[in-house]
Chains A and B, each alone.
Chain A
């Protein structure tokens, strides 16, 4: 894991002092809420329906047990004893008091954490593959590149007032576990003649105009990366639309001028930017990479005892193969049946931290699907880990099943929402509570957004649900066929919307159609892609 040196620490400490000053000016009435708003928004502090919400950055979703414990401590001390892990691999606290905010950030800074650029029209937290460093299919660990980008983007003087927010994801596997092409910039590390570089995709995104990012460059070398990304951003900062907030994301620019013209403009800008000497030497990437060296794997390859059927189900569903013999990747579901997707109590966060420390080389990951990963667990320890998780209500064996739902906070918390998301997620999970039934349905990614901004990734759901407001009544539209994985696609609305119970029924009917029509080991989305919408529509509306 990356460790701060005194440079990194001094920047984060300075930010705490600056924010403390800004908050004090606000509390003293020296600045108005209007003037304070852009300042707090640069620091992840939102005024929500009921209270301030603070979003804490978890760079590329990686953290150690000390940092995880701090997240628990903050939930306990400053919030209502829980936190909410987000689709951008961050954590949000929903009940923060303005007066305590600077103290909270000061405590975070003691464990090399912050809330810098977790909101605002700037470059947000860099996201990545939660299996980085553990996946067998990666060409390299993507996190050093993400850290390089984190540093470059932190307080970038030219790109802090972009037309709109800007999200970057870095992956290094053909299998995409980070919805890479649904980001403003997606990078996929690849090797060309032995050299590591990045495929660059620009202009993806969800929101009200979902788009899949086209490839803009098939290979950017490591020592050109920052110049190239800087060129990408400069073209956007200069020519991205600012007349309409809903058309201000880079996807609209790339779409309107076309990928070829955008590529040409970036190439021209890059030719100039490259002369400025803004790229660190490769030694910097090597310095960062050293922090991500593989841990000292030494466990023998022991197959776990599967005699306990509950444990066996969890093994099959939540434990994934590791690149190192004798090890496995453990997924901890934050989706208990009837719970709030992504929420964890302070006690649960502590349990996960303890497990990482005792069994997982002190590493944890947050996933964009709002779960937690212990990336390096010896197979011989899996049963012990499972028992601890079970005692903490963290052993739900539903990874990638229909109850592993992504949901935004929705109208229960969010001031932008049109409809509630959480109760819909709870009802669907409860309807499909039977594990055998869920497992029979197999991988089925269901994602719920409470408004058109699509924070719940409904466009990328095999089944997506979008909450809208129809004449003052919450109404839910269904979309089928989306995917955020390497088979990326945008879901399509299937027909008129439903009320809350109606949408649960419609989802159930869709799963029945799938069960009737599936061939071989087809997933829901495969069947849908093969047979099309008609049979589903007939069953649901017919």
Chain B
């Protein structure tokens, strides 16, 4: 279930299909990526996707962070959802990698999430969010 969503458009009602199923057929507009799926396989189809769900079976498995950035770097603007073992202390990193909705398996405390997202206001690196990296603030 989507607990946190940082977009204003309507939630896609269509259930997501696996990457293989999507590549085989289909006119689906929602896809689910497992950690070992290659996000780049979706690049030719980004225009018609409205939801990409990235699975985190274990929080320790960080492949989904790269999947998210690859999709955003390729110009994907639809909903990018982190689903699974998503913990409060990962959400800020996930936001920076381009995720804009979260469906954690274990429900998260909204206050804790808000706190986690507002802890840092400076960032060293350029990532997939709109934060301006510190080096750019230093040098304009």
Main secondary structure of the interface of A (DSSP, over half): helix
- The answer to whether A281 touches B66, judged by C-beta atoms less than 8 angstroms apart, is no
Which B residues lie at the A interface, using CB under 8 A?
Answer: 35, 59-63, 65-66, 69, 73, 87, 89-90, 92-94, 96-97, 115-116, 119-127, 133-139
Contacts A38-B60, A280-B139, A281-B135; A160 near B125 (Cβ below 8 A): no
- The answer to whether B125 touches A156, judged by C-beta atoms less than 8 angstroms apart, is yes
Binds B, one of A15-23, A81-89, A180-188, A449-457: A15-23
Check A35 for interface membership: any CB of B closer than 8 A.
yes
Contacts A121-B60, A238-B63, A287-B138; A158 near B97 (Cβ below 8 A): yes
Contacts A7-B134, A276-B126, A281-B135; A160 near B120 (Cβ below 8 A): no
Contacts A5-B138, A38-B59, A159-B62; A10 near B126 (Cβ below 8 A): no
- The answer to whether B89 touches A278, judged by C-beta atoms less than 8 angstroms apart, is no
The residue in A39, A278, A280, A287 that gathers the most chain B C-beta atoms within 10 A of its C-beta is A280
List 5 A-B pairs, Cβ < 8 Å: A21-B115, A38-B89, A151-B135, A160-B65, A242-B61
The CA-CA distance from A14 to B116 in the complex, in Å, is 11
B62 / chain A contacts, CB cutoff of 8 Å? 121, 158-163, 237
Which A residues lie at the B interface, using CB under 8 A?
Answer: 5, 7-8, 10-11, 14, 17-18, 21-22, 35, 38-39, 121, 151-152, 154-163, 234, 237-238, 242, 272, 276-278, 280-281, 283-284, 287
A5 / chain B contacts, CB cutoff of 8 Å? 138
How many A-B contacts are there with CB distance less than 8 Å? 98
The CA-CA distance from A467 to B40 in the complex, in Å, is 46
- The answer to whether B63 touches A237, judged by C-beta atoms less than 8 angstroms apart, is yes
- The answer to whether A277 touches B126, judged by C-beta atoms less than 8 angstroms apart, is yes
A7 / chain B contacts, CB cutoff of 8 Å? 122, 134, 137-138
The CA-CA distance from A502 to B120 in the complex, in Å, is 55
- The answer to whether B93 touches A160, judged by C-beta atoms less than 8 angstroms apart, is yes
The CA-CA distance from A224 to B133 in the complex, in Å, is 17
Contacts A237-B65, A276-B73; A157 near B134 (Cβ below 8 A): no
The CA-CA distance from A156 to B124 in the complex, in Å, is 8
A38 / chain B contacts, CB cutoff of 8 Å? 59-60, 87, 89
Contacts A38-B59, A158-B65; A151 near B119 (Cβ below 8 A): no
CB contact between A155 and one of B123, B126, B135 (< 8 Å): that residue: B123
| Min distance, Cβ B100 to any Cβ of chain A, angstroms | 14
